[in-house]
Structure 1
Amino acid sequence: MLNNMKVDNPSAFRFIMPDELYLLPEDKVAKPSPIAVEPVATAAEPVIAPQAAAVTEAPQAIKTTEPEFNYLGKNNKRFLILVNYQNEEFIAAPHLAALENILKRKELALDDVAIMNVNKYQPITIAKIAELLKPEKMVIMGKDALPQGIGNLVLNTPVQGRKTSVLYSFSFDEMMSSNENKKAFWDQMKTI
């Protein structure tokens, strides 16, 4: 009887044969999709199309990823320098030249440090900085570069934390106009 039957839709097999005869082994695990059957209208009863139920799902909260900190240098020696420049990506060019000279005197290169402009990430916390950059040494250049939660630091007095040595000093603008400020900064920078 099955030899004479022609089946146009493979889904019809499930109505005339057991699943084991026509399903592949990997298809037996998954349930076959149900077949949609169109209602047949008779002259006595009109076909009424089923109304789609309005599906209202609660909007899903979209979690945005926080951007990683963008900094100048490669942070090879875990030496972080925090600055605050409103109109610069990282640091003003004349200040970068002065900083590179200071680093050379400490036998460091730009690749050894990370220069981060905190102005781009305000408000910024010391906990977030420590989590992402893991500094062992940190120089904070000016009061505007102080991250939240750092506590009270005394100007040009190095502090040894649990994991990080911290020096809070003058900004480059304050140092460029005063030889006393330059000397005070360099005296402490040598120790960190």
Structure 2
Amino acid sequence: MESQVTNNANALRLFFTEDVFLVEDKDVKIDAEVAYEAVSDDLNALKHVADSSEISIPKDENPILVAHKHPESLEIPPILEENKPKTEFKFLGGNKKFVLILVNDKTYDVSTEQGRDLLRKIVKAIDLSTPDFALLNFANHIGTDYAELQQFFKPQLMLAFGVETSHLNLDLVWENEILTHESTRMIFAPNLHDLDGNLAEKKALWSHLQKIK
């Protein structure tokens, strides 16, 4: 009877489809030529898989880059700048001639009776009437800088009573001379009530007003 024992690798693969663990048996000797044939068959099988048309990589793309390519639908939304709301100002006058008058009084809407009377003389001296200027009490808008005022009122002339350059975040120094910042001429003076009782400051102010008429 023909022996049923075989050591042919191809024949064994037909029957054993699960993992097989080999234990050395000194009674069975595998011919060197047969062992080489088995290894050669495995290499040929791997080569066949690599050459198969089932695995296809476009020639014009790098396989490493293709593996990490982002989907075209993935979009990063732009970062939108938060729009700062515009400041609303409550003021008197019409601002037709773009003249901004700033006062600084925490008690009165404009100033005391003496201060209001002095202001009437000031606007009359430079030929202004109520529709020509905007009168704003800065005490109601603490923290507002010049950039915000300029954006809203667009003043060509600014008279500031009791308001200093530092209050408006201006890098300017008042040295009793008319200042020009961008396209705005500026005159700074003490609070209207205090100015009314200060003769030297009133004379200095009248001198500046004569230059802008």
TM-score of the two chains, using structure 2 as the length reference: 0.55
**Given the alignment, which residue of 185, 198, 205 partners 1:178?**
198
Answer yes or no: is the 8 Å Cα contact 2:179–2:186 preserved in 1.
yes
1:97, CA displacement in angstroms? 2.0
Determine if the alignment matches structure 1 residue 74 to structure 2 residue 94.
yes
Segment of structure 1 superposing worse, 84-93 or 102-111: 84-93
Aligned twin of 2:155: 135
Rounded to whole Å, the distance in 2 between the matches of 1:163 and 1:119 is 25
Could you say which structure has the higher helix fraction? 2
Determine if the alignment matches structure 1 residue 97 to structure 2 residue 121.
no
1:26-41 alignment runs, 5 A limit: none
1:98-117 alignment runs, 5 A limit: 98-117=118-137
Matched-pair identity in %: 23
Give the 3 Å change call, closer, same or farther, for CA 155–82 of structure 1 in structure 2. Answer: farther
1:161, CA displacement in angstroms? 2.0
Residues 135-185 of structure 1 deviation map (CA, whole Å, 9 limit, x = unaligned): 010011124585332223224210122211111122213312221111111
Answer yes or no: is the 8 Å Cα contact 1:72–1:114 preserved in 2.
yes
Rounded to whole Å, the distance in 2 between the matches of 1:115 and 1:180 is 24
The code of the aligned residue for 2:132 comes to D
Segment of structure 1 superposing worse, 131-140 or 154-163: 154-163
Q: Which runs of 5 or more structure 1 residues have no equivalent in the other structure?
A: 1-62
Aligned twin of 1:87: 107
Alignment: residue pair count: 130
Rounded to whole Å, the distance in 2 between the matches of 1:168 and 1:98 is 15
The code of the aligned residue for 1:72 comes to L
Determine if the alignment matches structure 1 residue 166 to structure 2 residue 179.
no
Matched position secondary structure for 1:191: helix
Rounded to whole Å, the distance in 1 between the matches of 2:165 and 2:110 is 12
Aligned twin of 2:141: 121
Answer yes or no: is the 8 Å Cα contact 2:165–2:172 preserved in 1.
no
1:67, CA displacement in angstroms? 4.8
Answer yes or no: is the 8 Å Cα contact 2:97–2:132 preserved in 1.
yes
Residues 101-150 of structure 1 deviation map (CA, whole Å, 9 limit, x = unaligned): 12112111122111111110111110000011110100111245853322
Matched position secondary structure for 1:101: helix
1:19-58 alignment runs, 5 A limit: none
Rounded to whole Å, the distance in 1 between the matches of 2:147 and 2:133 is 19
Give the 3 Å change call, closer, same or farther, for CA 145–173 of structure 1 in structure 2. Answer: farther
| CA-based RMSD | 2.3
Answer yes or no: is the 8 Å Cα contact 2:161–2:191 preserved in 1.
yes
Larger gyration radius, structure 1 or structure 2: 2
Answer yes or no: is the 8 Å Cα contact 1:79–1:112 preserved in 2.
yes
Q: Which runs of 5 or more structure 2 residues have no equivalent in the other structure?
A: 1-82
The code of the aligned residue for 2:181 comes to G
